[in-house]
């Protein structure tokens, strides 16, 4: 599989301090990432992915986003697009209006890769971020959050991906990947779902367990500390994972070691690759990678 990452900005990532978005409590305004550690962690993540036999594609960080008033969120390359993992790319329309420039830029950067590109209509009420989705191609199911996504946005993506089922999971996290991840076996099929139940609303919990029970898939519940955390205490983002066939790449271990033991029994290898500096801006492994 091809995995896309963005290169880091030439000026250094948030060298003047991380900003603050209202719906992202993990962002610590004014904190400056340690650049050497950031590079080390990023290199380790890339090596971990390559070691599993996947190809890394690095996109140049856009110069127009790296000026006096930088917009460094492009590092979270997950958000501006989603692909069917088979040559088709859907350019999304960001839930955060200031990030919509990323949707326009990523299209130009992806065009040379000879993929089939379609774009979400630029209409009021149509919003979608890649961090709000987990597309499991072999199961033909799309898991979607409804914080920065809208129903119209979800429906558009589902139709373009030609999925059989959409599972809506609305929670307090600004993106679905801050509190949920599937795990895939070596053949690419879902064998487990990992969720912070405390973050989910009641209807979404029903949606999740209806899907899991109907497909005989175990669900593992994690505490808020393994997810986004709370306004008082940022979580460790252990659930923010890149689920590849037979492996779950994550930044940290779960608080309950029994979960990883059970995942191992299901044929899932766990690989930990820390992202402490990316987490200062509210993102981790899933956020900085994207399947192509």
Q: What is the pTM of this model?
A: 0.96
Domain range list for the chain: 2-291
Interior/surface letters 236-254, b for 16+ CB within 10 angstroms, e for the rest:
bbbbbbbbbbbbbbbbbeb
What's the rounded mean pLDDT across residues 1-11? 96
Query: Which pLDDT does position 27 carry in this prediction?
Result: 78
Query: Which pLDDT does position 23 carry in this prediction?
Result: 67
Q: What is the pLDDT of residues 125-180, one digit of tens each?
A: 999 999 999 999 999 999 999 999 999 999 999 999 999 999 999 988 789 999 99
**What whole-number distance in Å separates Cα of residue 220 and Cα of residue 136?**
18
* E strand intervals along 9-110: 55-59, 81-83, 88-91
268's enclosing H/E stretch is none
**What whole-number distance in Å separates Cα of residue 256 and Cα of residue 250?**
15
pLDDT at 216 over 70: yes
222 and 255 Cβ atoms separated by less than 8 Å: yes
Query: Which pLDDT does position 69 carry in this prediction?
Result: 82
Query: Which pLDDT does position 146 carry in this prediction?
Result: 94
Mean pLDDT (the chain) is: 95
Q: Which CATH class is domain 2-291?
A: alpha beta
**What whole-number distance in Å separates Cα of residue 86 and Cα of residue 137?**
9
What's the rounded mean pLDDT across residues 181-204? 96
Query: Which pLDDT does position 125 carry in this prediction?
Result: 94
Which residue, 248, 255, 243, 239, is CA-closest to 270? Answer: 248
* E strand intervals along 158-251: 165-168, 180-184, 190-195, 219-221, 242-244, 247-250
Q: What is the pLDDT of residues 109-133, one digit of tens each?
A: 999 999 999 999 999 999 999 999 9
CA distance from start to end of the chain = 7
Query: Which pLDDT does position 237 carry in this prediction?
Result: 95
Q: What is the pLDDT of residues 268-281, one digit of tens each?
A: 999 999 999 999 99
Q: C-alpha distances in angstroms, 132 versus 22, 94, 127, 148, 186?
A: 17, 11, 10, 7, 24
Q: Count of residues for the chain?
A: 292
Query: Which pLDDT does position 36 carry in this prediction?
Result: 96
Dihedral sign, Cα of residue 270, residue 35, residue 235, residue 97? negative
Query: Which pLDDT does position 172 carry in this prediction?
Result: 85
pLDDT at 67 over 90: no
pLDDT at 26 over 80: no
Q: What is the pLDDT of residues 226-254, one digit of tens each?
A: 998 877 788 899 999 999 999 999 999 99
Burial (0-12, 13-18, 19+ Cβ within 10 Å), 266: middle
């Amino acid at each position: 599989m091809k995995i896309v990452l963005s290169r880091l900005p030439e000026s250094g990532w948030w060298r003047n301090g991380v900003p603050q978005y209202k719906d992202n409590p993990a962002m610590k305004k004014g904190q400056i990432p340690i650049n050497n550690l950031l590079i080390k962690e990023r290199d380790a993540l890339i090596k971990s992915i390559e070691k599993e036999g996947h190809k890394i594609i690095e996109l140049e960080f856009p110069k127009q986003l790296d000026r006096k008033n930088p917009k460094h969120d492009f590092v979270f390359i997950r958000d501006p697009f989603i692909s069917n993992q088979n040559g088709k790319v859907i350019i999304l329309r960001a839930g955060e209006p200031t990030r919509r420039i990323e949707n326009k830029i990523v299209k130009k950067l992806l065009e040379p890769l000879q993929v089939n590109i379609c774009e979400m209509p630029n209409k009021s009420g149509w919003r979608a971020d890649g961090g709000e989705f987990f597309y499991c191609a072999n199961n033909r199911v799309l898991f979607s959050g409804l914080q920065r996504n809208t129903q119209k946005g979800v429906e558009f993506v589902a139709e373009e991906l030609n999925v059989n089922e959409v599972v809506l999971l609305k929670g307090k996290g600004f993106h679905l990947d801050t509190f949920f991840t599937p795990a895939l076996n070596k053949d690419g099929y879902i064998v487990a779902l990992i969720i912070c139940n405390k973050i989910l609303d009641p209807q979404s919990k029903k949606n999740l367990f209806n899907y899991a029970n109907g497909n005989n898939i175990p669900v593992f519940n994690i505490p808020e500390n393994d997810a986004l955390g709370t306004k008082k205490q940022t979580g460790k983002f252990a659930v923010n994972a890149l689920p590849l066939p037979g492996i779950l790449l994550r930044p940290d271990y779960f608080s309950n070691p029994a979960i990883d033991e059970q995942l191992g029994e299901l044929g899932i290898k766990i690989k930990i690759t820390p992202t402490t500096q990316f987490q200062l801006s509210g993102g981790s492994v899933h956020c900085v990678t994207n399947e192509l």
